[in-house]
Amino acid sequence: MRLGAYNCDLEPGSKLAKIYGQKRISERHRHRYEFNNKYKEAMTKAGLVLSGVCPDNELVETVELPSHPWFVGCQYHPEFQSKPTKPHPLFVSFIQASLERQKQV
């Protein structure tokens, strides 16, 4: 089981690097699953951006789909660091993207 806080290095210029405003983040995990690195090449060829990796073991932590207005996936639990008066940056970004999309419809 992957449990506790782990560092994640974000790809410069990625959506997540812009959301967080930094190169390295630390996020909490609680899961038994991980991205299978055997499929890295196939996923990137299909258009998925592997935007964040754990520097300790090169596990993929975050992914993005650039062809979508706001498609990000993460292995960690952003809700563990979110507070009512200080929401997690991923939640803030998602709400902002949703409001922007609503204006277009």
pLDDT digits (tens, 9 = 90+) for 2-14: 899 999 999 999 9
pLDDT digits (tens, 9 = 90+) for 48-81: 999 999 999 889 999 999 999 999 999 999 999 9
User: The CATH number of the domain where 56 resides is what?
Assistant: 3.40.50.880
Q: How many domains does the chain have?
A: 1
Identify residue 46 by its one-letter amino acid code: A
Q: Are 97 and 70 in contact (CB under 8 A)?
A: yes
Band the pLDDT of 105: cuts 50, 70, 90.
Answer: confident
Is 0.85 surpassed by the pTM of this model? yes
Q: Range of 53's domain?
A: 2-104
Q: What angle (nearest 5°) sits at the alpha carbon of residue 49, between those of residues 46 and 22?
A: 175
Give the tokens for residue 41.
Answer: 């090449």
